[in-house]
């Protein structure tokens, strides 16, 4: 399983709409939140492999109205409790 954080740049006043649509259309999305800073939102997504992760980002997230750009950070290490 691959986990990644997708940082989104969105059109003004479309954060809530985009996040709701992402959560509704993409079951692999585990969290979707509006944030402050250089990005407008962050999404945590899991996929079985890199091909599926790429498909979800390029074919699904990028096609949502209001999404301008994405930056993806793939998790390579995690501290387990």
- What pLDDT, on the 0 to 100 scale, is given for residue 5? 98
Residue 81 confidence class, pLDDT cut points 50, 70, 90: low
Task: Give pLDDT tens digits for 44-66.
Answer: 999 999 999 999 999 999 999 99
- What pLDDT, on the 0 to 100 scale, is given for residue 79? 87
Specify if 63 maps to a domain: yes
Specify if 65 maps to a domain: yes
Specify if 58 maps to a domain: yes
Task: Give pLDDT tens digits for 6-42.
Answer: 999 999 999 999 999 999 999 999 999 999 999 999 9
**Secondary structure of residue 46 in the 3-state scheme:** strand
Full domain range(s) for residue 53? 44-69
Specify if 77 maps to a domain: no
Residues 40 and 21: their CA atoms lie apart, in Å, by 15
Question: How many CA within 13 A on the CB side of residue 41?
Answer: 30
Specify if 59 maps to a domain: yes
CA 9 to chain centre: 10
Specify if 56 maps to a domain: yes
Total tally of structural domains belonging to the chain: 1
CA 50 to chain centre: 14
Which pTM does this prediction carry? 0.91
């Amino acid at each position: 399983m691959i986990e990644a954080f997708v940082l989104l740049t969105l059109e003004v006043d479309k954060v809530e709409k985009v996040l709701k649509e992402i959560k509704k259309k993409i079951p692999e999305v585990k969290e979707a939140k509006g944030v402050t800073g250089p990005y407008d939102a962050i999404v945590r997504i899991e996929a079985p492999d890199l091909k599926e992760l790429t498909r979800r980002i390029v074919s699904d997230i990028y096609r949502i109205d209001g999404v301008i750009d994405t930056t993806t950070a793939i998790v390579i290490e995690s501290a387990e409790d």
